[in-house]
Amino acid sequence: MTKITIAIDGFSSTGKSTVAKRLAAELGYVYVDSGAMYRAVTLYAMQHGFIETDCFDKEGLISNLDHIKISFKFNPEKGFAEVYLNDENVEKNIRTLEVSKFVSQVATVSEVREQLVLQQQNFGKDKGVVMDGRDIGTVVFPDAELKIFMTASAEKRAKRRYDELRERGDEVCYEDVLHNVQTRDHIDSTREDSPLVMADDAIKVDNSNMSLEEQFEVVLELSEEKIKLQHKKKRH
């Protein structure tokens, strides 16, 4: 069957990754969590003193970008590819509220974006990829056959994120998580380089009142339609 490129963009904590992972597994596609790549760069910056409480040494990070190697390795137990920073599995360490607090700032740096976008385009060069992020349908794969834009109210998203963090044992309070979600929305949507905007040809899915199952069904149906259409086009 013909393979397509599926771009899933949207605000933070809209459940993009959960749906994208499951969709990739269902279609036999590669899943790439582009947000994890920005998070890994942020973790590196924190570990190497380029980010401290109120201070972000952007130039220091830029001059060290060559020392950052990000890769993904499939974990058969979990059923998806986990992210590695310089060969160390950082899948859990990149999901803390600390990293979430700084990642949007790191993602405004054009030098970081340039490097990560090239790597993302390389991951998708053979199609058969589901990638989620903020600029996948607009910058990374402007020609993606299917573009989905996920959205939900900030409160719903914060509640989901809060539950997730508590479940893994992180001591966080709901107000902090909500504040982080709103701040990131603002930074992500107003930055100069590749801001979060819906591509003209994207399909909007508001999942404020949808279960994960319903979301998945919607996205799977859209994907199957596009794959069939693309298959027909190729045969004619």
CB of 135 to ligand DC, least distance (A): 5
Q: How far is CA 216 from CA 24, 69, 144, 197, in A?
A: 11, 32, 19, 22
Piece of the chain touching ligand DC by CB under 6 A; list 127-135, 166-174, 199-207, 216-224: 127-135
Asked if residue 10 binds ligand DC (CB under 6 A), the reply is no
Distance CA 205, CA 208 (A): 9
Distance CA 171, CA 109 (A): 30
Residues 6+ apart with CB under 8 A from 233: none
Asked if residue 133 binds ligand DC (CB under 6 A), the reply is yes
Distance CA 93, CA 166 (A): 15
Asked if residue 184 binds ligand DC (CB under 6 A), the reply is yes
Distance CA 129, CA 229 (A): 17
Asked if residue 188 binds ligand DC (CB under 6 A), the reply is yes
Residues 6+ apart with CB under 8 A from 123: 30, 32, 129, 131
- Binding ligand DC (rule: CB under 6 A), the pick from 8, 91, 135, 177 is 135
SS3 label, residue 186: helix
Asked if residue 21 binds ligand DC (CB under 6 A), the reply is no
Asked if residue 5 binds ligand DC (CB under 6 A), the reply is no
- Binding ligand DC (rule: CB under 6 A), the pick from 44, 81, 90, 104 is 104
Asked if residue 134 binds ligand DC (CB under 6 A), the reply is yes
What would the two tokens of residue 141 be? Answer: 């794969």
Task: Kindly tell me which of 134 and 147 has the beta carbon lying closer to ligand DC.
Answer: 134
CB of 96 to ligand DC, least distance (A): 12
Which among 82, 65, 156 is positioned nearest to 117, based on CA atoms? 65
- Binding ligand DC (rule: CB under 6 A), the pick from 15, 35, 124, 137 is 35
Piece of the chain touching ligand DC by CB under 6 A; list 34-42, 59-67, 74-82, 197-205: 34-42
Q: Footprint of ligand DC on this chain (CB under 6 A)?
A: 12, 34-35, 38-39, 103-104, 107, 133-136, 184, 188
